[in-house]
Structure formats: structure tokens, C-alpha cells
């Protein structure tokens, strides 16, 4: 383009014109030469230019290598810059996708949301269990007792005191604060900690930092990096756009500050643009919440393992076993004594009014008939140690049949062959006795406590009448006439009150002689007594004679006197009507 311009400028000069024509020819030749030599390259340049100037073509070319380019950038270590460049686009795309149809993203995230939530819940649960374990481990120790006392003194829950005392440190809150405005970008807090309004606290914290910086004329780059009050500290890390403040209880390790720095750096790396343009909308920083939550760490003191601990454990276990055994034994004894006291209430002649127990000692009070069973002896029979019990009994007369029967036996002293029984207050006397005892029994029985009536229908005073015979003789001995007379009189008396009564005369023989002879002899003796009684006025129809030989001896024949008793006839009432006398 420059050549024509120059030729126009010098057109009025002939030499110049000639030279110009020559030059023009040269140019043309050069063009021809150039086209001959470089026509292929020129064509390629034109093609490339068209390609570069065509957006569609450029997009097509870039699409062919974009994946490789990203891969190459990552390999070169440019992850963060690449992420920072892509983040706004990706975030915008996600927002747009959610705005259009949230189900697409929900479906895409569904497979990861479940595990993530479960993991989060498991982490919280693990943390809770760890804290709970700390409390449990210390509950039964001496230190635990000290803490319990302290909790009572301070009026705070034991768990809270135990956790605080076993705590090395705990990051309770973390603030991410915008440096320029002092507004909270993000705030996380341990669930176990009660907090004030995070917005106001963060602003006041910033004000205090400004106050300290202004008041002490420090350099502009200097800043307050920690505050401490008692067990509570605030560690502050400052970045170009934001500060990170961690509220820590206890003594945190220096490594924690490094961790806080890294978090702050990461926040700046991820949100540099948002921080710079921050106008009060903290929503973009919500995504940083998990990072801050990870800073809420805690450490607890490990239980000191001393050599004596196994012995202590063994002793404690043995003590626990002994205590359990002792309590078990006391419980068993209590049950047995309670059962015994209840059984005692059912015993005749005993009235239990109170039963008490105290630390293995027992006290039973009530009323007791002197004839009732001895409670101490009964306790021994139950396998109980009577020395552990105090018995306090007041005396009284029991009216139970059993006690009344014992009382009757004791007072009436019945002869052998007489049986006394009390039923529903009625004294039943049975057997054979003398007329004199029968008379005495009738007089005294009514005065015995617990006896309301007497039944002596089964008692006969003939039982003592024995008619003796000489050896091998069936004839009556004249010495027995008095006994026969008394027997006849008694029989008549009985018949007077019981006309239908009949009497059996039983003949006996001793063991000497043949059995058949003795049978006959005893039969003969009975018949001879019967005839004598008839002679004395007893009707024969009321009498029945029978010999039993030596089959029913009255006494064992240990000597001649006893043998004499077996050579006899006895009289007993049979077929009496049972009329009470």
C-alpha cells in the first residue's frame, strides 16, 4: 500500500516516473516469485486466519483439547488457581440448575447425601459417647467423688464439672469475621456450649482489637492475636480480608494455631473475591461452615495408668463381691425370719403382735401360753440363729383345742388306758379308769380354761375290775367275792342309766400249759364269773362270756405277780348306748 502512495507523490518527475515503472515491474516480478515459492504457505496462512476469526471453529478446536488442557494444568500443580477460576462458573451453573429443576440436583446428590448425613451423625454420636465415657470412668474414682462434691458446692450438674475437669482444651466457637466491616461471615459453635449473639460478639471483638491497636500505638500491621480470661482464651488469626477467632476453653496445643491459620488461608483462597466485594450478604460463606466445624476439636485427659491400679481393681471387686454377698445374706435372713414370724402366728398358744428387723437383728413381740411351743426352739428347727432375735412374750391362757388338751392332761393326769382329746372345746375322755378318777375328772374338767363340755361316753370305770384265779383253776376264789360284788353293783348302775348296755366277760390264761387247755380254762373262768354275777342279780342276757386263752395277756409275764394277772377275767362294756354321763 505504501508504494502507490509514493508514486502519486512524485508523478511530476520523469526520472522518478521511469524509476517508478521499473520498481513496479520489480514488485510484480517479486510477487510472482513469491506466489511461485510461497503459494502453499500463503494458502495455509489464509486458512489459519479464517479459522482464528471464526468463533464456531475456535470453539470446536478448543473442545478437542480442553480436557487435556485441564489435566495438564493439574499436573503442573495449578489446582487452586484452576478451582478458583472454575468455582464461580460451577456455582452459577448449579444455581441455575436448581432454579430450573431442583430434582436433577437432588437425584444426583441423593447417593452421597445419605452417607454424608450418617457420617455426620456418627461423628456427633462418637463425640457424645467419648464425653460420656470420660464421665463414667471418673464417676467411681476418688477424683470423681471430689468432682461430685464440687458440683454440689457449685450447684452445677456433675457431668458438666466432670467434663470440664477432665478437659485439656475444647474449641467452643469459631468466628470468621470480615475484617473491614466486622460482620460475621460464618460462625460455628459446639452444641454443648451456650453462646451470646454471634453478630454482636464478633463486632465487639473487632472493636476491642481496634481499641487495643489505637490505645497502645502499635504498628498498623500489628494486631491483637489472643485474649485470655481464666480458663477461656480467644485466639485470633488475621488475614488480608478476614479474621478467624477461636474461643477455646483450657490449654490448646500450639499446633491448633497453625490449623487455624491454614483454615483462614483456605477461606481467603476460596472466597477472595466474595470477601473483597462483601456488602453484608454472608450466604456465599455458608459452604465454608464444614471447614470451620472441623476446627471444633477437643482433648481430654487420659486416665493415669498406675501400677497399683490392678490391685485396686481386685480389691474393689472383692469388696463389691463381699458387699453383694453380705447384702444377699441379709436379704435371705430377712426373708427367712419373716416367713418364720408368719408361721409363728399360726402356732397354737402364740399371738405375734409385731415383727421388726434392723441390720440383721430381729425382734418378735406378742402373747404366749406357757404350754405353747418355745419360739426359740422353733427358730432353731427352722435353721435360724435364735441368738439374733429378741422375743418378748406376755403370758395368757390360750383357748385353742391343742393347748386346752395339753392343759387337761396336765391337770387331770389321766391313768394309763385313758385318752383325753379336746375338740371344739369339748373334752373327750375314753378308756377304762377307776370310779374315783372318773369322779375327780368330772369335777375338775369344767374349771379348765378352754374346756366347755365333757364327753365321757367312751370311759368306763369297770376296766379296773379284774377277777383273779389260782393256777390251772377255773373255780372262783372266795377272796374275789368283794371284787365280784363291786362289779355287779357297777354293772347295775350302768344298766340303770343305759338299760340296753351289755357286758363282755373276757377269760384269760397264763402262758403255762397247752394252748387248747388254756383256751378251755379261760372260757370256763369267764362262764363261772358270769354265773356268779347272775347270782348277784345281773341278768344273764346282759352278759356274754368269752375265753381268749393266752392270746391277750394283760401284762408281760416277767414275774409271778404279772403272771397272776393273766389268770383272770376282765369286764368291759359292750353295746352301750353312749349316753353321756
Partner 1 sequence: MLQKKICMLGSFSVGKTSLVKRFVESIFSEKYLTTVGVKIDKKIVPVEGQDVTLMLWDLYGEDEYQKIRMSYLRGASGYLLVADGTRAATVDKALAILDEAEKNFGKIPCVLALNKCDLTEEWAIAPEREAEFAARARHVIRTSAKTGEGVELAFEELAKGMIAT
**What is the spatial distance between Cα 268 and Cα 262, in angstroms, rounded to a whole number?**
10
Q: Where are the alpha helices (DSSP H) in 358-500?
A: 375-381, 401-412, 435-445, 481-497
Provide the CA 428 distance to its chain's centre, in angstroms. 61
Out of 102, 181, 228, 577, point to the residue binding partner 1 (CB under 8 A). 181
DSSP per-residue string spanning 377-410: HHHHHTT--GGGEEEEEEE-----HHHHHHHHHH
| C-beta neighbour count of 207 within 10 angstroms | 11
Q: Which is nearer to partner 1, 27 or 210 (CB)?
A: 210
Q: Quick check: 160 binds partner 1 (CB under 8 A)?
A: no
Out of 105, 204, 440, 536, point to the residue binding partner 1 (CB under 8 A). 204
Q: Which is nearer to partner 1, 85 or 200 (CB)?
A: 200
Question: What's the closest the beta carbon of residue 155 comes to partner 1, in angstroms?
Answer: 24
Stretch that binds partner 1, among 60-68, 162-170, 278-286, 438-446 (CB under 8 A): 278-286
Q: Quick check: 318 binds partner 1 (CB under 8 A)?
A: no
Question: What's the closest the beta carbon of residue 243 comes to partner 1, in angstroms?
Answer: 12
| C-beta neighbour count of 181 within 10 angstroms | 13
**What is the spatial distance between Cα 580 and Cα 569, in angstroms, rounded to a whole number?**
27
Q: Quick check: 40 binds partner 1 (CB under 8 A)?
A: no
Q: Which is nearer to partner 1, 207 or 453 (CB)?
A: 207
State the cell numbers at 359: 441390720
**What is the spatial distance between Cα 568 and Cα 470, in angstroms, rounded to a whole number?**
9
Q: Could you give the string, one character per residue 221-260, with x where binding to partner 1 holds by CB under 8 A and - elsewhere? A: ----------------------------------------
Q: Which is nearer to partner 1, 44 or 210 (CB)?
A: 210
Whether 576 contacts 494, CB under 8 Å: yes
Q: Quick check: 200 binds partner 1 (CB under 8 A)?
A: yes
Out of 183, 256, 367, 554, point to the residue binding partner 1 (CB under 8 A). 183
Whether 294 contacts 119, CB under 8 Å: no
Q: Quick check: 280 binds partner 1 (CB under 8 A)?
A: yes
Whether 420 contacts 405, CB under 8 Å: yes
Q: Quick check: 281 binds partner 1 (CB under 8 A)?
A: yes
State the cell numbers at 197: 449473639
Question: What's the closest the beta carbon of residue 247 comes to partner 1, in angstroms?
Answer: 15
Q: Quick check: 203 binds partner 1 (CB under 8 A)?
A: yes
Enumerate residues 368-397 that contact partner 1 by CB under 8 A: none
Q: Quick check: 312 binds partner 1 (CB under 8 A)?
A: no
Q: Which is nearer to partner 1, 203 or 452 (CB)?
A: 203
| C-beta neighbour count of 74 within 10 angstroms | 12
Report the Cα–Cα distance between both ends of the chain, in Å, rounded.
175
Question: What's the closest the beta carbon of residue 241 comes to partner 1, in angstroms?
Answer: 11
Question: What's the closest the beta carbon of residue 8 comes to partner 1, in angstroms?
Answer: 59
Q: Quick check: 14 binds partner 1 (CB under 8 A)?
A: no
Q: Quick check: 182 binds partner 1 (CB under 8 A)?
A: yes
Cβ contacts of residue 164 below 8 Å, gap of 6+?
Answer: 231, 249
**What is the spatial distance between Cα 460 and Cα 498, in angstroms, rounded to a whole number?**
13
Q: Which is nearer to partner 1, 277 or 479 (CB)?
A: 277
Q: Quick check: 62 binds partner 1 (CB under 8 A)?
A: no
Question: What's the closest the beta carbon of residue 210 comes to partner 1, in angstroms?
Answer: 4
Q: Quick check: 207 binds partner 1 (CB under 8 A)?
A: yes
Question: What's the closest the beta carbon of residue 120 comes to partner 1, in angstroms?
Answer: 25
Stretch that binds partner 1, among 67-75, 108-116, 280-288, 362-370 (CB under 8 A): 280-288
Closest CA to 462 of 571, 575, 577: 571
| Beta-bridge partner residues of 357 | 362
**What is the spatial distance between Cα 223 and Cα 219, in angstroms, rounded to a whole number?**
8
Secondary structure of 173-225 in the HEC alphabet? EEEEEECCCCCEEEEEECCCCCCCCHHHHHHHHHHHHHHHHHHCCCCCCCCCC
Q: Could you give the string, one character per residue 209-228, with x where binding to partner 1 holds by CB under 8 A and - elsewhere? A: -xx-xx--------------
Q: Quick check: 314 binds partner 1 (CB under 8 A)?
A: no
List contacts with partner 1 (CB under 8 A).
178-184, 196-197, 199-201, 203-204, 207-208, 210-211, 213-214, 279-282
Amino acid at each position: 500500500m505504501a508504494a502507490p502512495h509514493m508514486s502519486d507523490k512524485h508523478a511530476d518527475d520523469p526520472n522518478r516516473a521511469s524509476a517508478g515503472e521499473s520498481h513496479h515491474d520489480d514488485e510484480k516480478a517479486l510477487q510472482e516469485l513469491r506466489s511461485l515459492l510461497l503459494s502453499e504457505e500463503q494458502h495455509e496462512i489464509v486458512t489459519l486466519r479464517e479459522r482464528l476469526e471464526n468463533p464456531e471453529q475456535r470453539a470446536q478446536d478448543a473442545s478437542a483439547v480442553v480436557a487435556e488442557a485441564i489435566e495438564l494444568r493439574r499436573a503442573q500443580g495449578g489446582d487452586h488457581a484452576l478451582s478458583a477460576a472454575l468455582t464461580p462458573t460451577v456455582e452459577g451453573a448449579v444455581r441455575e440448575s436448581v432454579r430450573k429443576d431442583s430434582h436433577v440436583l437432588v437425584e444426583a446428590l441423593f447417593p452421597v447425601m445419605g452417607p454424608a448425613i450418617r457420617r455426620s451423625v456418627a461423628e456427633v454420636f462418637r463425640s457424645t459417647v467419648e464425653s460420656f465415657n470420660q464421665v463414667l470412668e471418673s464417676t467411681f474414682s476418688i477424683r470423681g467423688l471430689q468432682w461430685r462434691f464440687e458440683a454440689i458446692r457449685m450447684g452445677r450438674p456433675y457431668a458438666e464439672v466432670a467434663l470440664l475437669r477432665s478437659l485439656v482444651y475444647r474449641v467452643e466457637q469459631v468466628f470468621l469475621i470480615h475484617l473491614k466491616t466486622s460482620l460475621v461471615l460464618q460462625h460455628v459453635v459446639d452444641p454443648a456450649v451456650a453462646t451470646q449473639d454471634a453478630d454482636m460478639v464478633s463486632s465487639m471483638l473487632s472493636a476491642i482489637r481496634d481499641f487495643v491497636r489505637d490505645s497502645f500505638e502499635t504498628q498498623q500491621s500489628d494486631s491483637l492475636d489472643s485474649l485470655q480470661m481464666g480458663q477461656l482464651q480467644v485466639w485470633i488469626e488475621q488475614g488480608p480480608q478476614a479474621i478467624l477467632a477461636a474461643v477455646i476453653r483450657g490449654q490448646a496445643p500450639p499446633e491448633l494455631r497453625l490449623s487455624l491459620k491454614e483454615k483462614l488461608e483456605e477461606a481467603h483462597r476460596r472466597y477472595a473475591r466474595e470477601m473483597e466485594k462483601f456488602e453484608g450478604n454472608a450466604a456465599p460463606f455458608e459452604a465454608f461452615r464444614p471447614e470451620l466445624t472441623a476446627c471444633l476439636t477437643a482433648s481430654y485427659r487420659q486416665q493415669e495408668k498406675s501400677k497399683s491400679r490392678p490391685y485396686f481393681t481386685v480389691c474393689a471387686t472383692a469388696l463389691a463381691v463381699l458387699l453383694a454377698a453380705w447384702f444377699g445374706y441379709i436379704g435371705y435372713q430377712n426373708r427367712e425370719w419373716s416367713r418364720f414370724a408368719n408361721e409363728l402366728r399360726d402356732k397354737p398358744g402364740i399371738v405375734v403382735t409385731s415383727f421388726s428387723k434392723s441390720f440383721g437383728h430381729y425382734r418378735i413381740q406378742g402373747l404366749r401360753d406357757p404350754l405353747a411351743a418355745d419360739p426359740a426352739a422353733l427358730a432353731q428347727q427352722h435353721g435360724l440363729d435364735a441368738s439374733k432375735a429378741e422375743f418378748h412374750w406376755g403370758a395368757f391362757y390360750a383357748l385353742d383345742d391343742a393347748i386346752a388338751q395339753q392343759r387337761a392332761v396336765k391337770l387331770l393326769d389321766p391313768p394309763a388306758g385313758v385318752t383325753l382329746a379336746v375338740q371344739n372345746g369339748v373334752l373327750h375322755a375314753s378308756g377304762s379308769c377307776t370310779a374315783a378318777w372318773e369322779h375327780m375328772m368330772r369335777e375338775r374338767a369344767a374349771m379348765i380354761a378352754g374346756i366347755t363340755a365333757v364327753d365321757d361316753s367312751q370311759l368306763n370305770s369297770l376296766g379296773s375290775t379284774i377277777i383273779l384265779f389260782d393256777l390251772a383253776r377255773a373255780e372262783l376264789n372266795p377272796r374275789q367275792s368283794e371284787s365280784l360284788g363291786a362289779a355287779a353293783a357297777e354293772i347295775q348302775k350302768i344298766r340303770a342309766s343305759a338299760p340296753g348296755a351289755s357286758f363282755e366277760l373276757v377269760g384269760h390264761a397264763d402262758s403255762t400249759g397247752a394252748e387248747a387247755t388254756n383256751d378251755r380254762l379261760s372260757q370256763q373262768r369267764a362262764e363261772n364269773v358270769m354265773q356268779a354275777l347272775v347270782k348277784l342279780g345281773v341278768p344273764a342276757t346282759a352278759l356274754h362270756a368269752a375265753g381268749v386263752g393266752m392270746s391277750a395277756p394283760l401284762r408281760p409275764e416277767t414275774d409271778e405277780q404279772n403272771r397272776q394277772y393273766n389268770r383272770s377275767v376282765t369286764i368291759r362294756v359292750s353295746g352301750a348306748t353312749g349316753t353321756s354321763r
